[in-house]
Amino acid sequence: MAFFIAIIGVNVAQEKPATDTPILFRSEKSWGGLIHSEGFGANFWIGKHKTAAIKRIYEFELVTMKHPKEIKSINPYFENAKSYKYGKLNAAALLRVNMGRVNTLNNKPYWGGVEVRYMYFAGLCGAILKPVYLSILYPTNIPYKYNVVDEKYDPNKHVSDMIYGRASFFKGFNELKFYPGLDAKLGLSFEYGHKSEIVNSLDAGVIADVFLKKIPIMAFNNNNNYFVTFFISLHFGKRKYY
């Protein structure tokens, strides 16, 4: 019996890592989704490990961005009217291309757990604006009969009583406008995966985007040339030794 116990003990000792020294990977790729205080989006990371605790990340991110004063409205005088956001001139999305670093604060033990890192990014961003189209009601010679015409929203022309609702989302893609800017991101990353070669992380932090001009999202509210948002994201991917 003592012989078998000794054999089992030797096998367990061989399977258990001698130290908690982190494995040095060469590269990683991951993708994820995020929600932030004014929208949602997706991103893609390409990582190069400088050391076991430090890696350089190239980030590509696309998110929607709404104005905090956006409120859904509906014309109460017509059945089947569609909801829309009164005063909204443009639908906005932000494209970010960043470079940054992720530094490990504490290494994950060999049996699992959570590894905590801090991260910071900076780079170029662009606001992509698509004009909002609405379905507009025009009276005819027949009482209570209207023609419905899809038009680009004009705050000087279209009052709420004549708006039937939002038009197709795809209208206006041939009229996109681009506003260049800069952005910076700061946050924490929590790696919770059991396998070192698999990326499973929860990230949270704050992002600031700054532009040369004000971003015209709304007609009747002040528009800014900057956005400051808080985000939470999930990342999934793989790491490689070569």
**Average pLDDT of the chain to the nearest whole number:** 88
Read off the pLDDT of residues 101-132 as tens digits, 9 standing for 90 and up. 999 998 776 666 789 999 999 999 999 999 99
Q: Are 236 and 32 in contact (CB under 8 A)?
A: yes
* Matching residue, tokens 């209208």: 171
Rounded to whole angstroms, how far apart are CA atoms 61 and 34?
10
Domains of the chain (ranges; CATH) run: 24-69+90-131+173-240 (2.40.160.20)
Q: Count other C-beta atoms under 10 Å from residue 36's C-beta.
A: 20
Rounded to whole angstroms, how far apart are CA atoms 113 and 106?
11
Surface-to-core class of residue 28, CB atoms within 10 Å of its CB (0-12 exposed, 13-18 middle, 19+ buried):
buried
Rounded to whole angstroms, how far apart are CA atoms 113 and 118?
17
Tokens of 220: 């009747």
The pTM of the full predicted model, rounded to 2 decimals, is: 0.83
DSSP string for residues in 145-211: -EEEEEEE--TTT--GGGEEEE--TTTTGGG-EEEEEEEEEEEEEEE--SSTTEEEEEEEEEEEEEE
What per-residue confidence (pLDDT) applies to 19?
42
Read off the pLDDT of residues 154-188 as tens digits, 9 standing for 90 and up. 999 999 999 999 999 999 999 999 999 999 999 99
Residue 138 has pLDDT above 70, yes or no: yes
Residue 241 has pLDDT above 90, yes or no: no
